[in-house]
Amino acid sequence: MDKYRVMQAENRKLYNQVQDLRGAIRVFCRIRPAGRTNDDSPVCVESAGEDGLVVRCPGPKNELKDFHFDKVFEPQVTQAQVYEDTQPLIRSMLDGFNVCIFAYGQTGAGKTHTMSGTDVEHADGRGINYRALDDLFLLRDERATEVVYSIKVQMVEIYNETLRDLLVDGGHQVRLEIHNTQASGLNVPGAKQEVVTSSADVLRLMDKGARNRKSAETRMNERSSRSHQVLTVIVDGDNLLTGAQTHGCLHLVDLAGSERTTKSEATGDRLVEANHINSSLSALGDVMAALANKSKHVPFRNSKLTQLLADSLSGQAKVMMFMHIAPEASSFQETLSTLKFATRVSEITLGQVGTW
Ligand code: ADP
Ligand code: MG
């Protein structure tokens, strides 16, 4: 078979997989290797098979709790292996689907590792954000005789319910508003979108985004864990043979740390931040639950985060949530709260058949 036919066959296969996925939400769990955060307390989490997880509650009873997901990634699983499960979704975007991928979990549980990566100057360390864009470039080249694609990137953070453009340097910020009526990926007209054509472009932009995020940090505030970062990829395709046009949008979301701050710990700015994070994460949970239940009313308007993502979550969006677990016993309470959030979304969707 020539290359074109191979590609057609592959597209059909992927198309079928995508059909299975219509409206689906997949919930994955990734366990961070122990000891990455200077915490030497014993490990209280173990995987139990491909899709299960056991948490050992500290205390005299040593009670065990079981949880189930679409899949559990054990600590030694590589960035490339994690990406394998994401790949079909990224590909479906080229055919005009909207996709959202979230990293949820307490600070230090590995969200940024999954989305951006660690030591990204080495390809092995790169997370989903880089791999997704590289894949899009590859597919664009493979299909070049048939379709012309334009790939654009936008990067914003949401801090205390305010949007900030991470592709614009500090002094040049404009006020960003969300317009609910726009097509997916175009609902923040004031945000800068940059065309990317190669991995080098992406590395440069990510670096810029990271620097802009860093520049807003104060001594007291490690900003990256207190804000949501949303990288949006917008892909438009023009089919040269049929004249058909496609439009797809991918949101890659590194959420703020989900840890609960007690009133006694947090005062002033910290308390304001904590309240904003708590309310936006619960708004996200409500939206996910409504989508999973196929409810008529999805409460997108309750937070900036859900408003921003509404454009691609309504309709036939494909959603993937990576729940991140810190395995140390000291994080036990936060782990349970993460697993509870995950269960709320996944117990409704488990049982829906369909392969990736
Ligand atoms: P978060 O973004 O949730 O606060 P990070 O992604 O920054 O957490 O992870 C905390 C630390 O653990 C970082 O140093 C990161 O490199 C490391 N880490 C997280 N997950 C993994 C993993 N799966 N394998 C190796 N190191 C990891
Ligand atoms: Mg982080």
Residue 5, in any domain of the structure = yes
Task: Determine the pLDDT at residue 5.
Answer: 61
Which residue has the least CA distance to atom 12 on ligand 1? 36
Segment 298-316 shows an average pLDDT of 89
pTM of the model: 0.91
Higher pLDDT, 71 or 14: 71
Asked if the model's pLDDT at residue 101 lies above 80, the reply is yes
Residue 283 to residues 107, 109, 180, 215, 310, Cα–Cα distance (Å): 19, 21, 17, 28, 12
Choosing from 72, 112, 113 the residue with most ligand 1 atoms within 8 A of its CB, the one to mutate for a pocket test is 113
Q: What total number of domains does the chain contain?
A: 1
Confidence (pLDDT) at 132: 96
13-27, 76-90, 156-170: range with lowest mean pLDDT:
13-27
The answer to whether the CB of 223 is under 6 A from ligand 1 is no
Is there a domain that residue 114 lies in? Answer: yes
Query: Which domain CATH number covers 178?
Result: 3.40.850.10
Return all residues near 276 (Cβ < 8 A) that are at least 6 apart.
159, 160, 161
| Ligand 2 mean position, distance from CA 12 (Å) | 37
Q: Which one has a higher pLDDT value, 29 or 350?
A: 29
172 C-alpha to ligand 1 centroid (Å): 32
Average pLDDT, integer, range 183-206: 94
Q: 36, 74, 229: which to mutate for ligand 1, most atoms within 8 A of CB?
A: 36
> Does residue 33 belong to any structural domain of this protein?
yes
- Domain contains 353: no
Per-residue confidence (pLDDT) for residue 320, from 0 to 100: 92
The response to whether residue 228 sits with its C-beta less than 6 Å from ligand 1 reads: no
Q: Is residue 354 part of a domain?
A: no
Local structure of 198: helix, strand or coil: coil
Please work out whether the CB of residue 256 comes within 6 Å of at least one atom of ligand 1. no
Q: Where in the sequence is the domain holding 84, given as residue range(s)?
A: 1-347
Residue 352 has pLDDT above 60, yes or no: no
Within a domain: 352: no
Share above pLDDT 70 across residues of the chain, in percent, rounded to a whole number:
88
Residues belonging to the chain: 356
Specify the pLDDT at position 195. Answer: 97
Q: Is position 128 within any domain?
A: yes
47 lines ligand 1 (CB under 6 A): no
Write the CB contacts of 107 (distance below 8 Å, at least 6 apart in sequence).
Answer: 222, 225, 257, 259
| String of DSSP letters for 248-279 | EEEEEEEPPP-PPPPTTT--HHHHHHHHHHHH
Going by C-alpha positions, the residue among 252, 298, 253, 306 that lies closest to residue 279 is 306
* Nearest CA among 303, 274, 276, 272 for reference residue 288: 303
Report DSSP state, residue 153. E
Ligand nearest to the CA of residue 117, numbered in listed order:
1
Q: What is the mean pLDDT of the segment spanning 235-264?
A: 91
Element holding 152 (H helix, E strand): strand 147-159
What is the model's pLDDT at position 221? 66
**Residue 111 marked in a binding site:** yes
What residues sit around ligand 2, an ion, with C-beta below 5 angstroms? 111-112
The pick from 118, 222, 258 for probing ligand 1's pocket by mutation, whose C-beta has the most ligand atoms within 8 angstroms, reads 118
Between 1 and 315, whose confidence is greater? 315
- Averaged pLDDT for residues 169-186: 86
Residue predicted with more confidence, 345 or 5: 345
Query: Quick one: what percent of the chain has pLDDT higher than 90?
Result: 59
pLDDT of 263 reads 60
Judged against a pLDDT cut of 60, whether residue 1 lies above it is answered with: no
Q: Is 107 in the pocket of ligand 1 (CB under 6 A)?
A: yes
pLDDT at 4: 61
Q: Is 260 in the pocket of ligand 1 (CB under 6 A)?
A: no
Residue 273 pLDDT > 50: yes
